[in-house]
Structure 1
Amino acid sequence: MRITIMADGDRAEGAPAESEAEPLRFQRLWGEGYFEVPASERLGKCRSVKEFEKLNRIGEGTYGIVYRARDTVTDETVALKKVRMDNEKEGMPISSLREITLLLELQHPNIVELKEVVVGNHLESIFLVMGYCEQDLASLLENMQTPFSEAQVKCIILQVLKGLQYLHERYIIHRDLKVSNLLMTDKGCVKIADFGLARTYGMPPQPMTPKVVTLWYRAPELLLGVTTQTTSIDMWAVGCILAELLAHKPLLPGTSEIHQIDLIVQLLGTPNENIWPGFSKLPLVSQYTLRKQPYNNLKHKFPWLSEAGLRLLNFLFMYDPKKRATAKDSLDSSYFKEKPLPCEPELMPTFPHHRNKRAASTSTGTETQAKRAKP
């Protein structure tokens, strides 16, 4: 059976029209010969992408192109993400299958919504229909004339923590938290997006690829080669995001893994066995010569931040993953109970849409971030 690869649901040059498409035939499991799938059943239970009107392209990330689109049946505005099928010879990429499987099980106000999967004319033309969010935080931070106030920062982080608590209670690690993967609706609702690297985990933890999480948000245990990952890597990234929102610039903008570790040591001091049991036995420790830095410089970095705020940052930046703050710990922090109190989401400022500069704001979020951090 010959399959013609389609682009964005349109007919490829030289490909037959849909009504003239080659028969879809499968070899019989029992008996000899093939059976043919009727044209009316080629899409299975999935709707056709032709039921969506593409309004404009809003970004392109690692795992697909994203469009703002209108569902012609419901008149709802959605984000339509075309799954990349580059060089895929054995079906859908595993990253997309993982993302679809996870998102179909998740329902939370602070998690991006996967509404359904729709298909084009051919098997390689697959689209995810996502809830549409007007902005991503990376684009907002680049285009805002006035930075977020501390009350607004608390509102954002609280929503991220609620979404993470929901994920972590279900034994899901996001593994790619960063500002471009945090979306915001025009009602001030923040949603965690891009689940292409997300994984479920169990006890005991199984080895996973350590080179995950965009460099600026990567926990030290990942940089030092740990392969058994827990929710603590997401919490380190939350600390980086909180600090970035408070400082109005990235906290640890490393240019390489060596530079990233050095920036962490400059900020938090040199790790040792006393504060991080097992540190000296980490797989890549012998490859680095860490500078001798006995001080924690967070207070110097944020001299205006309250004691409660500094405690929360220090808790999120614990070297030992076992001692690092959980999402629940963070939600209970007194930082969110002191003035300025978090503003309500509906009172968050609204912004003009920067669609031409946005990272793929439904589930990829890498275009803007690529300019801001090395993956």
Structure 2
Amino acid sequence: MDVVEKANAQRQKKWAKVGKVGEGMYAVVYRGREVETGRQVAVKKIKVGQLKDGLDMSAIREVKFLRELKHQNIIELLDVYSSKTNLNLVLEFLDSDLEMVIKDRTLVFLPADIKSWMAMTFRGLEFCHRNWILHRDLKPNNLLISSTGLLKIADFGLARDFADPGYKMTCQVITRWYRPPELLFGCRYYSSAVDIWSVGCIFAELMLRTPYLPGESDMDQLKTIFRALGTPTEEDWVGHTKLPDYVPVGQFPKTPLRDLFTAASADALNLLSKCLTYEPRKRISARDALHHAYFFALPNPSHPSKLPKCTTSAQLASKPLDDVDGNSEAKAAPSNRLKRKLTGPDQGGRSIARKLDFTKQSVGSPGSVF
């Protein structure tokens, strides 16, 4: 046994798999623990898939980017080891994901809660984009929640760097309901704006408690987007009719966001509209989003520890088996868990003595949380 094999064997002995919690086409996720300390971890075993020199490309991407990205709103890669023909990623263990929280109809969301989840999402994404990394599969299922309420971006299997603006990329990324129209029209040259559209869809889903743009096919996805936001004109989106897969989808009038998001603040709707702008170059950046008036207006965002959460300790075990690769379509069935108790006279969103002074720090600073 050579030095590399010995080191790998020693790393493998550090971690014990406790039980399977999910399985997809290319990966199996196990609940695990660190042998020496007993700390809970998640072990993602990458199966043999699309090989390049013996490794699955999604595994190569995930290891590469998670090693580069160290941030409190991005899942932490603890270790990597191989076993037989598989690559095992040891990740920090997180209790649930935002999709499960959204589906739990027994939980009540305050405006301050939504603001907190959005702030943490934008912070993690700003750090990715600052380091020239696109996630390319943002959705509630890939926003994991820790036991302390911290939101962390996970599943970097479709991520890639975008430092070279002239480099051609695939448009077959991002789960359909969160995919921007430029990718649906076959755009092969794009940047961080594709992730921002996904965050806009997540923002809308948090307010509606149901997916905002659930298309059944790529063509239906475009129709769903245009029905919601109006068919873009050349003035709205210069050059979109020249994209490779452009086809006329139909003429739909623009409906004010206020008609659907009746309880949202003006600042919330303004930020949402800036995330769901058709012209990618006019879409707000993650950094500018963090400095948007929405995050400085009352109510201040909830502290992560005060956010509504699923109460069972086995949330990960209830994750759909086909979701561990991060590429399944979202599902809309609610779960049934303990109702979050509200105190005080105003259960609609303003009281509950847990406001934080969000304005005393730089929200664009990835190093701070609240």
What TM-score results when the alignment is normalised by the length of structure 1? 0.82
Q: Cα distance, 1:289 vs. partner?
A: 2.7
**Mapping of residues 188-203 of structure 1, within 5 Å:** 188-203=149-164
Q: Is 1:55 aligned with 2:18?
A: yes
Q: Could you say if the C-alpha distance between residues 73 and 243 of structure 1 is closer, same or farther in structure 2, counting changes exceeding 3 Å?
A: same
Identity %: 37
Q: 1:142 aligns with which of 80, 103, 108?
A: 103
SS in 2 for 1:79: strand
Instruction: Give the 3-state SS of the residue equivalent to 1:226 in structure 2.
Output: coil
TM-superposed CA distance for 1:142, in Å, is: 2.5
- Give unpaired runs (5+ residues) of structure 1: 1-37
Q: Structure 1's 89 and 343: CA in aligned 2 closer, same or farther, altered over 3 A?
A: closer
Q: After the TM superposition, which residues 351-370 of structure 1 pair with which residues of structure 2 at under 5 Å, given as runs?
A: 351-352=311-312, 353-359=314-320, 364-366=325-327, 369=329
Equivalent residues of 1:141, 1:147 under 8 A apart? no
Q: 1:361 to 1:72 in 2, by over 3 A?
A: farther
Residue 291 of structure 2 is matched in structure 1 by 332
1:134-159: per-residue Cα shift (whole Å, max 9, x none)? 10112222334124222111111100
Distance 1:280 1:41, change over 3 A: closer
What runs of 5+ residues in structure 2 fail to find an aligned partner? 334-370
The amino acid that maps onto 1:174 is H
- Determine the C-alpha separation between the residues in 1 that align with 2:50 and 2:179: 29
Match of 2:37 in 1: 74
The answer as to whether partners of 1:266 and 1:293 remain within 8 angstroms in 2 is yes
What do you get for the CA RMSD once the two structures are aligned? 2.3
Report the Cα distance in structure 1 between the residues aligned to 2:104 and 2:172, rounded to whole angstroms. 30
Shift of the 62–297 alpha-carbon distance from structure 1 to 2, 3 Å rule, reads farther
- CA drift at 1:290: 2.3
1:128 corresponds in structure 2 to 89
The letter for the 2-side match of 1:92 is: L
Asked which structure has the greater CA Rg, the reply is 1
Deviation digits for residues 299-339 of structure 1 (CA, Å, limit 9, x no counterpart): 21112211111111110011000000110111111112222
Report if the CA contact (8 A) 2:46-2:87 is conserved.
yes
Indicate the residue corresponding to 1:14 in structure 2.
Answer: none
Alignment of 1:221-236 (within 5 A): 221-236=182-197
Cα shift readout 1:107-136 (whole Å, capped 9, x = no counterpart): 00000111110233x2x1321110110101
Match of 1:262 in 2: 223
Q: Secondary structure at the match of 1:57?
A: strand
> For residue 303 of structure 2, what is the amino acid of its counterpart?
E
**Which secondary structure state, in structure 2, belongs to the residue aligned with residue 42 of structure 1?**
helix
The equivalent of 1:97 in structure 2 is 60
1:217 CA drift (Å): 0.1
Deviation of 1:86 (Å): 4.2
From 305, 318, 325, the equivalent of 2:277 is 318
Q: Is the 8 A contact 2:26 2:49 kept in 1?
A: no
Q: 2:231, 2:186 → 1: CA distance?
A: 17
Deviation per residue, 1:249-292 (Å, 9 max, x gap): 0000100011110111111111111111112211122xx33222
How many equivalent residue pairs? 331
Where do 1:147-226 residues align within 5 Å?
Answer: 147-226=108-187
